Structure 1
């Protein structure tokens, strides 16, 4: 999904949300960034979807079963041990973590229910699980498993959400007057 399309969708979602809630400008901007982040994650994790029949035929040879890992840390260890270079391993692991950090930062700002550590951890697990299940469902739908289903991705995504939440918590400690937070939450 091109960035321009993501931006248009995010603006539309923000406008629709604003119609029903009458948010202030800062909260709308925060909401826009949050929606844009979700769309970028969707773009990174689900697209491109191979739909051309010739491509599917050539890719599908011998790949009728999904590549799944349900053993925690197995893929992470494999990446670290078998990667072409340490940089590639760090990039792959850090990418999964950093991709979800904005969710942990923005979700508690926008949704009162996600202000506790436990709820943000649960939402991080669910966010990662939604990504993995979407990849599986698309794979079943097109008859080719173009992405792997991996519990380690969920773990790394959840770590990213927790780090985003931790960063938000640190910022809040330095924002003594809570001016940023009052602007976001003020409706």
Structure 2
């Protein structure tokens, strides 16, 4: 993990605590007024969603470029699965064997792009009750919004474009949302699996005995 990524995560945590502190008290008031008591599950659910949102924003847009940062020579990458070729290029550059493909920075970055959207797909299934198609569209739309924001230098608020618009990010993010949906569906199937409340025991039937024959 680079220093820039650590800095982004730190800012993400700060943003989470600031945002959660803002919405926590109103949420507690609403829960108490609606249910007569404070339920822990909605509070934790809200915290999880806010944490994911702030950390996602942080790692995709922070840190902002400083005055001494070199500008990108390429700002758009439209070749699907270019990361596969980039892994091979990175291995050749560092003289590494093909067996070390999973240690390359390119593979790790692609994996992180997949994992980044797994929680979104999980929330879409478990909290928002979306289907797989709807979740896929949500993941693609969210990823596209991030990529367009990066391509436009945060809609002109940044001094210049400092992140690449990468079609592979769209594919990996969308795939991550689908994996999250599958994980959420599996979890719900396990939780909702009916458990028998009683156990029926079939006792052996006793044969009827004719008392007249016994006598």
TM-score > 0.5 by shorter chain: yes
Contact 2:126 2:188 in 1 (8 A): no
1:175 lines up with 2:186 in the alignment: no
Cα 1:16/1:146, change in 2 over 3 Å: farther
2 CA distance for matches of 1:165 and 1:82? 33
Structure 2: tracts of 5 or more residues without a match: 1-10, 92-99, 195-215
TM-score w.r.t. length of structure 1: 0.76
Q: Deviations over 1:93-129 (max 9, x none)?
A: 11110111011111333324xx211100000101111
Q: Which has the higher contact order (CA 8 A, sep 6+)?
A: 1
* CA-atom RMSD in angstroms: 2.6
- Call closer, same or farther: CA 1:31–1:107 in 2, change over 3 Å: farther
CA distance in 2: counterparts of 1:146 and 1:66, whole angstroms: 10
- Name which of 148, 156, 181 aligns with 1:133: 148
Give TM-score scaled by structure 2 length: 0.67
Count of aligned pairs between the two proteins: 168
CA contact (8 A) 2:75 2:151 kept: no
Q: Within 5 Å, which residues of 2 pair with 1:52-63?
A: 52=66, 54-55=67-68, 59-60=70-71, 63=72
Q: Could you say what secondary structure the match of 1:138 adopts?
A: coil
1:42-95 Cα deviation digits (max 9, x unpaired): 111100011x4x32xx624xx5x7510122222x22322222552123311111
Question: Which secondary structure does the structure 2 equivalent of 1:48 belong to?
Answer: coil
CA 1:30–1:90: 2 relative to 1, 3 Å: same
Structure 2 residue aligned with 1:183: none
Whether 2:113 is the aligned partner of 1:96: answer: yes
